């Protein structure tokens, strides 16, 4: 297949681009490099630098595209609270430009990176795709609006869409042979737990901050559903095959297991052999106590099966960081 990958210079987009190439597809990456890195785009993919608004129509008009995988987005929850308009404009506005470009070019399939943040504070655990969506920040709200737009473009324009709602993505894709770093997390502003804990093991930070230990969870710290980026990526290949013109489906993508902040830090200590000092601070605003997916729908409908546990996520993220150094 010939595929357009938006955001293919970013963390998840670069991993999936590598997997798509490995499966024999032709890939064009469209990325404005506002947060992505040109050298993260796997060899074998063609990189077009530009925004979706400026460049999607031109690229797709070139012809021959079978489908789009849409990763490009602003994805910092805290930043979205400071700059909601930016998130609506960049996430929803640019996605609408992409959908119109698809329509004009007659490209009828899209796999979209949605998020657990569309659900907001859950009423029950694990979270089902049919649960209420009440996002608590503009990041989640803008992603939910794109899910809704996809459903409308499916119903009214015959586009086939699948929204994959990611839980907490971690780990890296390491090449099977050789010492090349592969693809992994390289955010200029790093807010995520695992990379921040690993910065302590690297000596780049003195200690990790635990945001709150007074949550109603077994050890008092927040519980999240961590999913290995390679397992997550494989779901995109299955979703691509399952897209049907005129239909829109939503699938959660998590392992269905929860790990607390303290458990994550402990696994990082075991993997790195570093004591990783931790200090407790007050809660971070907007963090739900527990976010765990029900992944039953994607398992039973698409036959997806996660194969890598938290230890593998930490070990691969650690290997990626060290190889890059
Ligand atoms: N945490 C710490 N210390 C840190 C960083 C994080 O204690 O230095 C805690 C957070 O409070 C949270 C957990 O570790 O309880 C995980 O935090 P992350 O920032 O790694 O991930 P989030 O669960 O906040 O965010 C993820 C995705 C978002 C998505 C969100 C859905 O990264 O894109 O899930 O709620 F919006």
Of the chain, the percentage scoring pLDDT greater than 90 comes to 94
Asked whether 320 and 228 are in contact (CB, 8 A), the reply is no
Q: What is the pLDDT of residues 213-248, one digit of tens each?
A: 999 999 999 999 999 999 999 999 999 999 999 999
Distance between Cα 7 and ligand 1 center (Å): 21
66 touches ligand 1 (CB under 6 Å) = no
What are the two backbone dihedrals, phi and then psi, of residue 223, each rounded to the nearest 5 degrees? -110, 130
Ligand 1 pocket mutation pick from 127, 196, 261 by most atoms within 8 angstroms of CB: 261
Measured between alpha carbons, how far is 109 from 107 in angstroms, rounded to an integer? Answer: 6
**Confidence at residue 189, expressed as pLDDT on a 0 to 100 scale:** 84
Kindly list the distances between the CA atom of residue 51 and the CA atoms of 3, 58, 94, 219, 294, in Å, as whole numbers in the listed order.
17, 11, 8, 44, 34
- Whether 74 shows a pLDDT value over 90: the answer reads yes
Alpha helices in 191-254 (DSSP H): 193-202, 229-242
Q: Do 313 and 226 form a contact (C-beta atoms < 8 A)? A: yes
Cβ of 168 less than 6 Å from ligand 1: yes
> With bands split at pLDDT 50, 70 and 90, how would you rate the model's confidence at 178?
confident
Q: What is the pLDDT of residues 278-301, one digit of tens each?
A: 999 999 988 899 999 999 999 999
Residue 91 pLDDT greater than 80, yes or no: yes
Q: What pLDDT does 179 receive?
A: 78
Burial (CB < 10 A; 0-12, 13-18, 19+), residue 201, is buried
State the Cα–Cα distance between residues 34 and 50, nearest whole angstrom.
Answer: 9
Residue keyed to tokens 């230890």: 311
Average pLDDT over every residue of 20-47: 97
**In 106-136, which positions are buried (b, 16+ CB within 10 angstroms) versus exposed (e)?**
ebbbbbbbbbbbbbbebeebbbebebebebb
The residue to mutate among 287, 293, 313, having the most atoms of ligand 1 within 8 angstroms of its beta carbon, is 287
The residue nearest atom 29 of ligand 1, judged by CA position, is 117
pLDDT for the residue 72: 98
Average pLDDT of the chain is 96
CB 254 within 8 A of CB 286: no
Q: What is the pLDDT of residue 109?
A: 98
Measured at the alpha carbon of residue 270, what is the angle toward residues 267 and 275, in degrees to the nearest 5?
100
Band the pLDDT of 87: cuts 50, 70, 90.
very high
22-27's contacts with Cβ under 8 Å and 24+ in sequence apart are 23/237, 25/1, 26/1, 26/2, 27/3
In this prediction, residues 145-150 reach a mean pLDDT of 98
The pLDDT score that the predictor gives to residue 309 is 97
Q: Which of 211, 189, 322, 208 is nearest to 267 (CA)?
A: 208
- 56 Cβ contact partners less than 8 Å away, ≥ 6 residues apart: 4, 6, 30, 97, 98, 101, 102
Q: How much distance in Å is there from the Cα of 120 to the middle of ligand 1?
A: 13
CA angle 192, 195, 199 (to 5 degrees): 130
Select from 126, 163, 119 the least CA-distant residue to 141: 119
Q: What is the mean pLDDT of residues 85-93?
A: 98
Q: Ligand 1 in contact with 281 (CB < 6 A)?
A: no
Q: What's the pLDDT score for residue 177?
A: 76
Any atom of ligand 1 within 6 Å of the Cβ of 192: yes
Q: Does 292 contact ligand 1 (Cβ within 6 A)?
A: no
Provide the annotated active-site residues: 139
Does 317 score more than 90 pLDDT?
Answer: yes
Determine the pLDDT at residue 180. 83
Is the model's pLDDT at 63 over the cut of 90?
no
Q: Whole-angstrom Cα distance, residue 161 to residue 152?
A: 10
Question: Looking at residues 192-198, what average pLDDT do you find?
Answer: 97
Q: Which of 211, 286, 291, 310 to mutate to test the pocket of ligand 1 (most atoms within 8 A of CB)?
A: 211
Quick one: what percent of the chain has pLDDT higher than 70?
Answer: 100
What 8-state DSSP symbol labels residue 117?
A: G
Distance 60 CA to ligand 1 centre (A): 35
Q: Can you give the pLDDT at residue 325?
A: 83
Buried b vs exposed e over 299-318: b needs ≥16 C-beta within 10 Å? eeebebebebbbebbbbbbb
Angle between helix 94-105 and 138-157 (nearest 10): 20
Question: How many Cα atoms are found within 13 Å in the side-chain-facing hemisphere of 315?
Answer: 7
222 lines ligand 1 (CB under 6 A): yes
Report residue 13's pLDDT band, with 50, 70 and 90 as the boundaries: very high
Residue nearest to atom 15 of ligand 1 (CA): 222
Categorize the per-residue pLDDT at 302 as very low, low, confident or very high, splitting at 50, 70 and 90: very high
**Residues forming a β-bridge with 113:** 164
What pLDDT score was predicted for residue 187?
Answer: 82
| Atom in ligand 1 nearest the alpha carbon of residue 167 | 34
Q: What is the mean pLDDT of residues 39-57?
A: 97
CB of 18 closer than 6 angstroms to any ligand 1 atom: no
pLDDT at 181: 86
């Amino acid at each position: 297949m010939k595929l357009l990958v938006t955001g293919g210079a970013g963390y998840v987009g670069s991993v999936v681009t590598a997997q798509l190439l490995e499966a024999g597809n032709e890939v064009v990456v469209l990325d404005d490099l506002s947060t992505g890195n040109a050298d993260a785009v796997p060899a074998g993919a063609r990189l077009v630098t530009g925004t979706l608004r400026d460049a999607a129509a031109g690229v797709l008009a070139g012809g021959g595209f079978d489908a789009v995988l849409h990763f490009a987005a602003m994805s910092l929850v805290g930043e979205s609270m400071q700059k909601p308009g930016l998130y609506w404009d960049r996430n929803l506005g640019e996605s609408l430009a992409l959908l119109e470009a698809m329509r004009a070019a007659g490209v009828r399939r899209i796999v979209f990176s949605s998020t657990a943040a569309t659900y907001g504070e859950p009423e029950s655990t694990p979270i089902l795709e049919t649960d209420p969506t009440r996002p608590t920040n503009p990041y989640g709200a803008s992603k939910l609006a794109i899910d809704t737009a996809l459903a409308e473009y499916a119903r009214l324009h015959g586009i086939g869409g699948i929204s994959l709602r990611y839980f907490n993505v971690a780990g890296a894709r390491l090449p099977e042979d050789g010492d090349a770093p592969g693809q992994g997390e390289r955010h200029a502003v790093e807010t995520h737990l695992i990379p921040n804990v690993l910065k302590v093991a690297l000596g780049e930070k003195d200690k990790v901050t635990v945001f709150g230990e007074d949550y109603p969870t077994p050890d008092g710290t927040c519980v999240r559903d961590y999913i290995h980026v390679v397992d997550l990526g494989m779901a995109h290949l299955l979703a691509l095959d399952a897209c049907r013109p005129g239909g829109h489906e939503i699938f959660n993508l998590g392992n269905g297991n929860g790990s607390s902040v303290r458990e994550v830090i402990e696994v990082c200590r075991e993997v790195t052999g570093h004591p990783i000092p931790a200090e407790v601070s007050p809660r971070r605003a907007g963090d739900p106590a527990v976010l765990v997916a029900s992944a039953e729908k994607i398992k039973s409908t698409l036959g997806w099966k996660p194969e890598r546990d938290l230890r593998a996520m930490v070990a691969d993220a650690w290997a990626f960081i060290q190889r890059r150094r």
